[in-house]
Chains A and B, each alone.
Chain A
Amino acid sequence: MSLVNRFFLVSIACFSLLSPVLAATKSIEWDVAYTTANPDGQYERRVMGVNGQWPPPAIELDYGDDLVLKVNNNLGDAVTGLHAHGLFQNGTNYYDGPVGVVQWYFCHSYMHLSR
């Protein structure tokens, strides 16, 4: 993973030279575990929540930010994976998330996004 870490350091350094706005790195930790919810008022059911809550929190960034999302899989009975729509992951497609395409299922994982 040292190659990967260096890549991120390089990408951040380049961006700070080119942009008047310094890119920030946002680090988030998600504990994925079951909880219950009844969003239609008709039926309480088991749902997959984040950090004990459902719905899961939105992730909000500014363009140019790096995101480090650490995921702890506490489901207990299922593997999982995370993938974002609309992000091209150009040059970092090993962080894109689709299970079976760029990675295995995971029990615990980091997800990195650059720009």
Chain B
Amino acid sequence: MGQYPDGLRSPFIIRNPDEPYKYDEEITITVSDWYHAEMSEGIASFMTYKNPTGAEPIPQAALMNDGQNGTIQFEAGKTYRLRFINMAAFAMFHIWIEEHDMRVIEVDGVYTEEYTVPGIELTTAQRVSVLVTAKNTTEKNFAIVGSMDTDMFDTVPDGLNPSDCLDKIFSKWIDVTNWIVYNSSNPNPDPVLADSFYDWDDTLLVPLEPEAVVDPDESYQLDVLFDTLGDGQNYAMFNEISYKPPIVPTLLTALSVPSNYSTNPTVYGTSTQPLVLGHNQMVEIVLNNGDAGKHPC
């Protein structure tokens, strides 16, 4: 429906009274791409026969905590839990704090064993918590940078990128900088040019409370593909079916059809790809990304 990129979104934090990790304070940090046009205009230019390759609208800016050039206060020696949330419509972000390691402890609500990284990658809608221990000195402030993944952008508008090498620049357009401030009377330094991004392997994360793998009762494979259909528009699809909301919401159909039909996938229509699951079954879903762009699972 495309309303959250018009601003209708916010962090939803649920704290754990029996928190397994110790830290002194927590700070929520959101990142987002930002469009100057409203989504109704963006969708109209995106979903049209004039855009058969499905080139997505390119954002005009990157935001951190719904702004730019903001500050985050650190006290020397304290350990902070930073809750990162990518609220973007489209862009994957690289995020790092200069001269500070991050210890990943939670991904999408699941605690992990501590995993130390120089920075994180966050695709849309992903959430990651990291622990960052502040330095013991307050002599310097440090840039915290969010950098949008330009691999996802089909075109880069002229005049917005000051360098030929898109991956190595700090432009107002692709990057957003805030500062970790130890002492507000010290300057907030420009971020250092990065030669490359840290490309993390999140399959190396280990859950803090591991559960044994269980043989699934049912297994489904969903292949993500983009393709241009007969109307000339480009669609995203699971197994060659593009989702369209049914006229009657699926749950209401399940509750209103005669009960002997509710487990018959036909009643849910042809554009919703219903998978009728058995009660309390262990279901395996194999998701294959057939697109070049990064996408959260």
Contacts and interface: CB of A to CB of B under 8 A. Distances in A.
Interface of A: 21, 32, 37, 39-43, 45-50, 54-65, 78, 80-81, 84-87, 93-94, 99-104
B7 A48 contact: yes
Interface of B: 1, 3, 6-17, 28, 34, 36-38, 60-61, 63, 66-68, 108-109, 125, 127, 172, 245-246, 249-252
A81 B68 contact: no
Contacts of B108: 85-86
A26 B109 CA distance: 21
Contact of B245 (A49, A78, A100): A100
Contacts of A81: 1
Contact of A104 (B36, B37, B249): B249
Nearest to A48: B8
27 contacts: A39-B68, A40-B60, A42-B60, A42-B61, A47-B7, A48-B6, A48-B7, A49-B8, A54-B7, A57-B10, A58-B11, A58-B12, A61-B13, A61-B15, A62-B14, A63-B15, A80-B3, A85-B108, A85-B125, A93-B251, A94-B251, A99-B1, A101-B249, A101-B250, A102-B249, A104-B249, A104-B252
Contacts of A62: 14-17
B245 A99 contact: yes
A102 B15 contact: no
Nearest to B126: A85
Contact of B38 (A45, A49, A57, A103): A45
A87 B66 CA distance: 23
A69 B274 CA distance: 30
B14 A43 contact: no
A93 B6 CA distance: 26
A53 B277 CA distance: 42
Given A39-B63, A41-B68, A99 B249 contact: yes
Contacts of A84: 12
B114 to A, nearest CB: 21
Given A45-B36, A48-B7, A102-B251, 13 more contacts: A32-B8, A39-B67, A43-B60, A45-B37, A46-B38, A50-B10, A57-B10, A80-B1, A85-B127, A99-B249, A101-B249, A101-B251, A103-B249
B41 to A, nearest CB: 11
A59 B15 CA distance: 11
B38 A55 contact: no
B3 A40 contact: no
Nearest to B35: A45
A89 to B, nearest CB: 11
B61 A40 contact: yes
A94 B252 CA distance: 9
Contact of B63 (A40, A58, A87): A40
A56 B7 CA distance: 8
Contacts of B250: 100-102
B251 A40 contact: no
A56 to B, nearest CB: 4
A64 B108 CA distance: 18
A68 to B, nearest CB: 14
Nearest to A78: B3
Contacts of B10: 50, 55-59
Nearest to B125: A85
A32 B11 CA distance: 16
Contacts of A103: 249, 251-252
Contacts of B7: 37, 47-49, 54-56
B12 A40 contact: no
Contacts of B6: 46-48
Contacts of A50: 8, 10
- Of all A-B residue pairs in the complex, the 10 with the closest CB atoms, nearest first, are A100-B245, A47-B7, A40-B61, A48-B8, A56-B10, A55-B66, A58-B11, A102-B251, A43-B36, A60-B13
